[in-house]
Amino acid sequence: MGFRRKIVAGNWKMNNTLSEALSLVDGILTNLDASTTTEVILCPAAPLLSALDSHTKNLPKIKLGAQNCSEHVSGAYTGEVSAAMVKSVGCDYVIIGHSERRMCFNENNKQLAEKIKRALENNLSPIFCIGEKKEEREKNIHFNLVKTQITEVLQNFSAKELDKLILAYEPVWAIGTGLTATTQQAQEMHAFIRKVLEETFGKLFADKTPILYGGSCNAQNAKDLFACDDVDGGLIGGASLKASDFCSIINSF
C-alpha cells in the first residue's frame, strides 16, 4: 500500500451507552501509540456523536464518523438523521451502505447513490461498503456483484466529486462470523476493486483511493491483512469495542 493513507475505522454498531462510549475512548487514548500515522475513525451511534466530539476535540488523531445518513436533505422523515446534522456534530466521515443497512433496512443502490451525494454536499467522506454474500461467492459471481455495487452507485459522480471517497470491502460472510477472508481472498478482491476504479475513474483516482478490509478483522490477523498491497486498513466491528484490541489493530501496519 505504501503511498496511500492508512485508515482504521471502528464501527460500534448499536453498542455503547454514553458512559461506556466515553470510557472506551479513554481506553483507546491510553493504548494508542503516540507516533501512529494511521487515521483513526470512531463511528458510534448517532446520539453519542456530539458528546464524543466534545470529548475528542483536542485530539487530532481521532476522527468521528456516523454509521449512516439519510438520502433526504431534511423534513418529515421521523427517526432519520441527515448528512448536515452529522456534519454539525463534528463528523468528517459517514459509513454508507453497510451490509446490515442493506439487509435489515433494504437499502438499495439507487438510495445509496443519493446518500453519497448528501454526504459529499456536506463535505463528509463516505466510507462506502461493498461485498458479496456467502452464496454469491459460492456461485462464483462475487467479482461481478462487487463491480455492479461500485458502478451502479458511483457511475453518476466524477472522479473530482469522489475525491473524499473511501471504499470498504466487507464480504458479508465474514462480518461478525469469525470467518476472516484469507489474505489471498482480500488482496485479489482489493486489486479487482482498484481495477474497476481505474476503468471507471482513471488511474490517478484508483491509485490514491483507500480501500479498507472489513469482516472479522482482529488483533491477530490485522498485520497480515494490512500487509497486502491493496489493503489500506480496516473497518472493524466487534474488535473495535475493546480498546486494547482496537489499538493493536491500529498498530498493525
Which residues have a catalytic role annotated? 98, 170
**Judged by CB under 6 A, does residue 236 bind ligand PEP?**
yes
- From CA 29, how far away is CA 4, in angstroms rounded? 24
Cβ at position 11, least distance to ligand PEP in Å: 4
> Residue 35 CB, nearest distance to ligand PEP (Å)?
25
Cβ at position 239, least distance to ligand PEP in Å: 6
> CA distances (Å), 120 to each of 95, 96, 117, 191, in order?
12, 12, 5, 25
Site of grid cell 476504479: 197
| Angle, CA 206 vertex, CA 179 and CA 213 arms, to 5° | 15
Among 101, 238, 246, 248, binds ligand PEP (CB under 6 A): 238
Among 113, 120, 189, 235, binds ligand PEP (CB under 6 A): 235
Calpha distance 42→22 (Å, rounded): 12
Residue window 169-198: x/- pattern of binding to ligand PEP, with contact defined by CB under 6 A: -x----xx----------------------
What gap in Å lies between CA 104 and CA 110, rounded to an integer? Answer: 17
Report how many residues bind ligand PEP under the rule CB under 6 A.
13
* Binding of ligand PEP by 228 (CB under 6 A): no
Q: Which is nearer to ligand PEP, 13 or 72 (CB)?
A: 13
Length of the chain counted residue by residue: 253
118 near 82, Cβ under 8 Å? Answer: yes
Q: Which stretch binds ligand PEP (CB under 6 A): 22-30, 143-151, 186-194, 215-223?
A: 215-223
Q: Which 133-172 positions form the footprint of ligand PEP (CB under 6 A)?
A: 170
132 touching ligand PEP, by CB under 6 A: no
Q: Which of 11, 16, 56, 149 binds ligand PEP (CB under 6 A)?
A: 11
Residue from 67, 68, 216, 252 that binds ligand PEP (CB under 6 A)? 216
Alpha helices in the chain (DSSP H): 18-31, 49-56, 83-88, 99-104, 109-121, 134-138, 142-154, 183-201, 203-208, 222-226, 243-250
Q: Which stretch binds ligand PEP (CB under 6 A): 140-148, 151-159, 185-193, 212-220?
A: 212-220
Nearer to ligand PEP, 150 or 205 (CB): 150
Question: Closest by alpha carbon to 1, among 221, 251, 231, 234?
Answer: 231
- 201 near 233, Cβ under 8 Å? no
Q: Which of 44, 210, 214, 233 binds ligand PEP (CB under 6 A)?
A: 214
How far is Cα 51 from Cα 35, in angstroms, rounded to an integer?
26
Residues lying near ligand PEP in the complex (CB under 6 A) are found at: 11, 170, 175-176, 214-217, 235-239
